[in-house]
Structure 1
Amino acid sequence: MEIESASDSFLALSHPGRLSALRLLIRHLPDSLRPSYMAATLGLKPNTLSVYLSALQGAGLVSVTRQGRALHYRAEVGALDALVQYLVADCCRGRSAYRPMCGASAPFSTETVMTKPFNVLFICVGNSARSIMAEALLRDLGGDRFNAHSAGVRPFSELNPFAVEVLARQGHDVSRLSAKTLSTFPTEDAPEMDFVFTVCDLAANEECPPWPGQPLTAHWGQPDPVKVTGTDGEKALAFAETYRQLRSRIQAFVALPLDTLDRQTTQRRLDDLARETANAED
């Protein structure tokens, strides 16, 4: 990266509004987002967001595609990787003895081989349905290779009876399940996570602090079955469909050869998995 390109990137990232827009796009990778959704999520006027996105696009930090009549924006992680490498290799000249954080600030190019068992956290808003289902599924499908956890960003919640019913009907042990808050996990005595997955858009939109250990992340958004109205039978059908979709995705996840993949390759596979399962569900 040339110094002019780096300067453009730093300038684009120097405004809190532009930085928030980029962080939102990153949390939804590998998906792209419509500006109307972004403006509503960030509480910005559409014309203000448009100025922010234009600056980020000019710096090469986001890209835009047209799908029908709608524009879709996507974060360009490769540009961020190049910027981080510029800081480490050029600005700091690799002198980690003088700048200890420089040696640890390049998560996108880390080549450390993953080890097991893996700690996995599923996040939703209330930890009442989708994330609870994902926790139960991974615990049974992943065996002793994974330690499954789930939590919600909402301070208080309780298990949804329809979610508990579908899990029990499928043979999962529901006695170990409980609704938990996200504040339970980023603490000193909590397990260090290897993977953190959001299973609803609202959870992905949250400005959460960085997780200790820089776990790999992915967004596995699922429609909220709790919002389905109608008869109990119609509601139960919605929960069963959510269970089916999550099971398909988690089966593909546990089939990944994680013992032989480095972090960078694993992240790409997670992004591919999010796209592949979404397309299969369509």
Structure 2
Amino acid sequence: METILINRLSTLSHPQRMAVFRLLMRRCPDEVPAGEIAAALSLKSSTASVYLSALTQAGLISQRRDGTRLLYAVNLETTREVVTGLFSDCCRGRPDLCPPQFAEFLQTPVKDRKLNVLFVCTGNSARSIIAETVLRDLAGDKFTAYSAGTAHRSTLNPFAVEMLETKGHDVSLLRSKNLTEFQGPDAPVMDFVFTVCDHAANEECPTWRGQPVSGHWGMPDPVKAQGTEAEKRLAFHQTYGALRNRLSAFAALSFEALDRGSLQKQIDAIGKAPATEEPTS
């Protein structure tokens, strides 16, 4: 067992192999195509393949073929074994040596109060703005909704603003915001952080105060839709419908009854729902 642990730690000791592993941890429980991993980390395809092979052989990640694509995901069972090997076996479970009790944290219920939710995308021009607006108007009594982008500069997409107006939402206070606005000491402490695009989910995530529950609800970018004006508008309406369906399911969760571990599973399940839905009126 100790040899296996040493081999796995040796595999993770390489900076770029660790970068691949961390990316897949951020995307857990998603399966990510090899090409997307290589692009996100600016690696040559052949180099990424070598790193993915090493991590797969160590059992740290799993591989599945889907047609011509190879999909990769973190092997959580093995990852837990590594943590257990370091903290339960090596320090024999001594509470003064081990990190804070993760199990106790996962069993902590979400507090019975208004909850802060942040939606993150690359540009904060469409998907995250739509999500912020929908949750605000769908369940503003339970949540305070925010959104931000990882890009340094962005502007609201006019199709997104127009579509929200046609749905009866107030857009007067909407503005494009950078993620740094929510990372200072005076920023609100988030209870939930959702990424709504794959690019943002693949980026290095900041350390959030309060250890918020996170989720990845990636979906196609309506800004990239091609075709006529009507076809472009349809893409925004479909994004709205998909987000509204997911947010309706999220708002209906029993936050007082679910602990963080159970809540995380529910959020992951919502994120696996089909990304494209019929427009919601």
TM-score (structure 1 length as normaliser): 0.90
Residue 189 of structure 1 and its aligned partner are, at CA, apart by 1.0
Instruction: Kindly state the Cα deviation for residue 187 of structure 1 after the two structures are TM-superposed.
Output: 1.5
2:221 counterpart of 1:224: yes
With 33-42 and 84-93 compared, the bigger mean Cα shift is at 84-93
Amino acid corresponding to residue 213 of structure 2 in structure 1 = L
Q: 2:234 aligns with which of 233, 237, 240?
A: 237
Question: CA distance change for structure 1 residues 268 and 280 in 2, over 3 Å: closer, same or farther?
Answer: farther
AA matched with 2:65: R
Matched, 1:114 2:110: yes
The one-letter code matched in structure 2 to 1:113 is: P
Contact 2:150–2:200 under 8 Å retained in 1? yes
The match for 1:134 is: 131
- Give how far 1:108 is off: 9.8
Equivalent in the alignment of 1:254: 251
Aligned counterparts, 1:172-191, within 5 A: 172-191=169-188
Letter paired with 2:32: L
Residue 207 of structure 2 corresponds to 210
Counterpart-to-counterpart distance in 2, 1:28 and 1:200: 11
Aligned partner of 2:39 in structure 1 is 40
CA distance in 2, matches of 1:238, 1:148: 23
Equivalent residue for 1:170, pick from 167, 170, 178? 167
Please show how residues 18-37 of structure 1 align to structure 2 within 5 Å: 18-37=17-36
State the identity %. 50
Flag structure 2 segments of 5+ consecutive residues without an equivalent. Answer: none
1:58-106 CA distance string (max 9 Å, x none): 2221001111232211112232233223333233334444x4x7125x3
1:59 equivalent in structure 2? 58
Range moving further from structure 2, 118-127 or 3-12: 3-12
- Native 8 Å contact 1:127 1:152 kept in 2: yes
Q: For the residues of structure 1 that align with 2:245 and 2:30, how far apart are their CA atoms? A: 19
Change (3 A) 1:94 1:279: farther
Counterpart of 1:113 in 2: which secondary structure? coil
The structure richer in helix per residue is: 1
In the TM superposition, what is the alpha-carbon distance from 1:233 to its structure 2 partner? 2.3
Deviation at 1:107, TM superposition (A): 7.1
Distance 1:235 1:94 in 2: 57
SS at 1:128's partner residue?
A: coil
Q: Deviations over 1:178-231 (max 9, x none)?
A: 110001112211111121111111111211222222222121112111122333
Residue 17 of structure 1 pairs with residue 16 of structure 2: yes
Paired residue secondary structure (1:148): strand
Question: Structure 2: how far apart are the matches of 1:67 and 1:195?
Answer: 32
Structure 2: distance between partners of 1:136 and 1:280: 18
**CA distance in 2 between partners of 1:202 and 1:271 (Å):** 18
- Tell whether the 8 Å contact from 1:108 to 1:264 is kept in structure 2 after alignment: no
Give, in angstroms, the shift of residue 126 of structure 1: 1.1
1:87 corresponds in structure 2 to: 86
> CA 1:13–1:107 in structure 2 vs 1: closer, same or farther (change >3 Å)?
farther
2:267 matched residue in structure 1: 270
Local SS of the residue matching 1:144: coil
Task: Specify the SS of the correspondent of 1:276.
Answer: coil
Q: Distance in 2 between matches of 1:166 and 1:34?
A: 32
RMSD after superposition: 2.1
The residue matched to 2:242 in structure 1 has which SS?
helix
* Aligned residue type for 1:54: S
TM-score normalized by the length of structure 2: 0.90
**How far, CA to CA, are the matches of 2:276 and 2:231 in structure 1?**
24
